[in-house]
Amino acid sequence: MLGIRRRQLLAMTAATAAVSGLGIAQASAQDRKSVMRYVTPNQVNTLDPVMLTATQESTALSVNIYDRLLIFDKTQKDGYGVFDFNKINGELAESYTVSPDGLVMTFKLRQNAKFHDGSPVTADDVKWSLERAVSGNTMSKAQMETGSVTAETKFEVVDAHTFRMTLAKADRLALANLATIYAPIYNSKLAQKNATADDPWAGKWLQANTAGSGAYTVERYVPGQQVVLKRNEDWVSGKKPAFEQVILQTVPDASTRGNLIEKGDADLTLAVQTADFDSLEKSGKAKVQAIPMPTAFTALVFNTKMAPFDNKLVRQAIAAAMPYDDLIRGVVNGRGGKLYGASWTKEPTSFAFPQALPNKLDLDLAKKKLSDAGFPNGFETTLSYGADRAELADLAAPLIQEALGKIGIKIRIEKMPAPQFAEAVTQKSKPLTFQQSLAYFPSTEYFFRVFLSGPSRWNFSSWANADVDATLPKLRYEADQAKFEAESKRLIGLMAEEEPMVLLWQPTLNIAMSQTLKGFTLWYHRSADFRELSRA
């Protein structure tokens, strides 16, 4: 039966080649029950989830193929799930303990957990996998360092099913990092069989092969086009998935993805563009939902090392001139959380971030601030953005241009090819940019560390505040929750005062799915976890 279904699926993918190279067509009623189809604009370019050049889709796919020691819990909200950063459960770990000083973490592995080749998951595999994460030339290394899990961390095999990790310094994000897509557990014996002297971590072999224990195995992989997953009937790290097979198909055109959902030829697509979302919502042939992303932001970003944006008053003036409501209505049709209009002035009541700042449209205040800064007649500058943000920026940039014109600032709009813009962001060579990004963790300290301090590429504004820079290295290790919250609020107040970027709105993840699909959860990686989806 499985062979017949596989032939049906492969025939299905060839039936409408005009769609995306391999295509998607209708399937039998039996296939509709047991097979889920996910269409995405993104490509899976490798099966090694932490390869330096892995796409976001490649990395996120690994939650279905690989297990980790831990997994974030989730809560239900408005018909969908949202990951809970503050509650971490075991995945491969049946249980875990943390010493009172936060330095020693001990994990008891599930004794019946097996890799896809049938071999048992052991503490040796965990040790090898985490050593690969902190020592190999992968994306894992930088991410794990955010939780102080580094090459200096002591990894210890206590027995076949007990693993111990000892940190040099207790870090609030150590456990959280073990629950991310950057800490997959590999079948170390299988990987090592395919390693070489030049490639001791088997990176080349893992690009086209898997060594996991997750809920799905890879049945078919065509790089950049399609992945077909088969349910792992021996998976023990969670509830057995509802779907026997999952087809991930790359379909670049947004309207085509929407049409496939409407016709019932696909079940789920993410990152639906505003116009397509409106059309799908109006048709009623698909379920659509705009889910706020708690760690995401859209912002007008100043280069604080470049005149005139090195002047705080100029930044404050522009923040007071922003047409906030017009932007959120005109660009995303009102879908998104407001990151402006807060009632507090000096310090927020919440320590969460991003959150609404006390900015609002006030042209009189904007003109006064600009005059006080020494620019009573305004100035000229350029607003730059990448073509990959064109859906938003093509609408936002003219509104910003018009608004700043009212206080004498003349804006030239520069739309750049995505690679060139990325290079400009890295070099910090543009005075004013339109950005949208997010942090993995909803932690104020983590957000500031990534986006608002140091020489990092992601510190888009190149903001350097001595108080912030002195506080962050201490805050990540602060064990007293009350002190952590108080210091987080103080940092947010400093950022609101100095305005290195004008926060505009919190983006939503716009999803469309078939009427029969249920169980979607918004995870930190902003992609689909097929393990949780089912058909009504």
The pLDDT profile of the chain, 536 residues, written as one tens digit per residue, is: 333 333 334 333 433 333 444 444 444 555 678 999 999 998 999 999 999 989 889 999 999 999 999 999 999 887 889 999 989 999 999 999 999 999 999 999 999 999 999 999 999 999 999 999 999 999 999 999 999 999 999 999 999 999 999 999 999 999 999 999 999 999 999 999 999 999 999 999 999 999 999 999 999 999 999 999 999 999 999 999 999 999 999 999 989 999 999 999 999 999 898 888 999 999 999 999 999 898 999 999 999 999 999 999 999 999 999 999 999 999 999 999 999 999 999 899 999 999 999 999 999 999 999 999 999 999 999 999 999 889 899 999 999 999 999 999 999 999 999 989 999 999 999 999 999 999 988 899 999 999 999 988 899 999 999 999 999 999 999 989 999 999 999 999 999 999 999 999 999 999 999 999 999 999 988 899 999 999 98
Q: Which of left, alpha, beta for 364 (phi over 0: left; psi -120 to 50: alpha)?
A: alpha
User: What per-residue confidence (pLDDT) applies to 23?
Assistant: 47
Report, in angstroms and rounded to the nearest whole number, the Rg of the chain calculated over CA atoms.
Answer: 24
Please list, in sequence order, all residues whose beta carbon lies within 8 angstroms of the beta carbon of residue 496, skipping any fewer than 6 positions away. Answer: 348, 357, 358, 359
Q: Residue 511 corresponds to which tokens in the numbers above?
A: 């999803």
Q: How many helices (H) and strands (E) does the chain have?
A: 18, 22
CA distances from 508 to 290, 326, 364 (A): 5, 17, 32
CA distances from 297 to 210, 301, 376 (A): 34, 11, 31
User: What per-residue confidence (pLDDT) applies to 19?
Assistant: 42
Q: Which CATH superfamily is domain 1-54+215-292+508-536 in?
A: Periplasmic binding protein-like II (3.40.190.10)
Element (H, E) at 123: helix 123-135
Domain spans of the chain? 1-54+215-292+508-536, 67-213, 296-506
- What is the CATH number assigned to the segment(s) 67-213? 3.90.76.10
User: What per-residue confidence (pLDDT) applies to 271?
Assistant: 84
Element (H, E) at 207: helix 203-208
**Tokens 């592995």 correspond to what residue?**
109
Element (H, E) at 410: strand 410-416
Please tell us whether the domain made up of 296-506 is placed in CATH 3.30.930.10. no
Distance from C-alpha of 296 to C-alpha of 355, rounded to nearest angstrom: 10
In terms of Cα–Cα distance, which of 440, 442, 443, 461 is closest to 452? Answer: 461
Q: What DSSP designation does 340 have?
A: S
354 cis-preceded (ω within 30 degrees of 0): yes
Q: What DSSP designation does 119 have?
A: P
User: What per-residue confidence (pLDDT) applies to 274?
Assistant: 87
Q: E-assigned strands of 184-326?
A: 216-222, 226-231, 245-250, 268-269, 287-292, 296-302
Q: Give the long-range contacts of residues 13-17, CB within 8 A, separation 24 or more.
A: 13/226, 13/247, 13/249
Is the Cα dihedral 282, 286, 287, 289 positive or negative? negative
Burial of 86 (0-12, 13-18, 19+ CB in 10 A): exposed
Separation of first and last alpha carbons in the chain: 23
- Give 3-state DSSP helix, strand, coil % of the chain, rounded to 5: 35, 25, 40
User: What per-residue confidence (pLDDT) applies to 117?
Assistant: 97
Distance from C-alpha of 128 to C-alpha of 146, rounded to nearest angstrom: 20
CA distances from 443 to 209, 296, 428, 489 (A): 35, 12, 25, 12
User: What per-residue confidence (pLDDT) applies to 30?
Assistant: 54
Element (H, E) at 166: strand 162-166
CA distances from 397 to 174, 214, 277, 322, 356 (A): 40, 44, 22, 11, 21
User: What per-residue confidence (pLDDT) applies to 56?
Assistant: 87
User: What per-residue confidence (pLDDT) applies to 46?
Assistant: 94
CA distances from 520 to 181, 203, 232, 365, 460 (A): 18, 32, 20, 45, 32
Three-class SS state of 164 = strand
